[in-house]
Amino acid sequence: MIHVNLTKQQSTISSQSVYRLYNKVSGEHLYTTSNYEYNSLNTMNSGWLGEGVAWKAPKSGNNVYRVYNPNSGEHLYTESAYEMNSLVHQNGWKSEGVAFYSDSNSGKPVYRLYNPNAKLGAHFLTMSSYERDSLVKAGWKSEGIAFYAKK
């Protein structure tokens, strides 16, 4: 897995596309603003499939943190510093810094869902209420609005 120092990267980007990748082996989705990470995983690792731009992140706003579980390989995205710190300090996750920003004033909601039956890829983000509702009907648990995007 390629890991990028997300905090340093944020200061040089004026606008951000958030890319989505899917790992057909683990079932995990990865979200990144790094062209390098997106292209590297998409071309060098046969398990990852690039799905293009998921949404546009605002230039500034509330932090959205990315944390990584080294035991499962899963990533989680949260606007909550409390949740991020709890995962890092109490549950062995690794902070990967600020992934992107949330626009709670004028953005569109990004929903977070949890699959209680998944060992990997247990969390999923989507802007689509149709996709959210379909996954809930299939047994996923809605965790509500995770943060807000531009698109």
pLDDT confidence of residue 1: 47
**Residue that wins the pLDDT comparison between 48 and 1:** 48
Of the candidate ranges 69-73, 79-83, 88-92, 124-128, the one whose mean pLDDT is the lowest: 69-73
3-state helix, strand, coil in the chain (%, to 5): 25, 40, 35
User: For residue 91, which of 99, 103, 102, 83 has the smallest C-alpha distance?
Assistant: 83
DSSP strand pairing (108-114 vs 94-102): unpaired
Mean pLDDT of 24-34: 90
Indicate the DSSP class of residue 40: H
